[in-house]
Amino acid sequence: MMLRSVLPACLVLGCVQLAHAQAIDDPTRPPAALWTPAASEAPPPKPARPQLQSVLISNKPGGRRVAVIDGQIVRQGGKVGDAVVVEIQDTAVVLRRGKSLETFKLYPAPKIENKPGASAGRKQE
């Protein structure tokens, strides 16, 4: 009689130990392929465009004009990476790379939304 009650108890304890030995996967964790990309699959980083941070212009006629681009103080004719500063305006700087000109503005251009039903030049009330 004792053997009959001990045998099921041993089986239950054995199953409990096997259950603890199994690893439980987190169903909400993304697949490993998504969070560990292969080095060959990663795209090379694009070089960032220069950032115009400030423009300083003297009040005196013929005074100096300098711009701060990516933390570097440059004057007209100075270099920013492989580009040359062609012109320093009040709110923009013109850079030349080879034969192409790039204008970097201190402030972004305002976005104008075209609303349907609004006629150009008329103020809505």
Please write the tens of the pLDDT for every residue from 39-92: 556 666 766 788 899 999 998 888 889 999 989 999 999 999 889 999 999 899
Stretch 24-42: mean pLDDT = 70
Residue type, 113: E
H-type helices in the chain, by residue range? 2-21, 32-35
Closest among 57, 62, 61, 68 to 90, alpha carbons compared: 57
pTM tops 0.85, yes or no: no
**Whether the Cβ atoms of residue 53 and residue 70 lie closer than 8 Å to each other:** yes
Supply the pLDDT for residue 41.
62
Supply the pLDDT for residue 55.
93
Supply the pLDDT for residue 125.
46
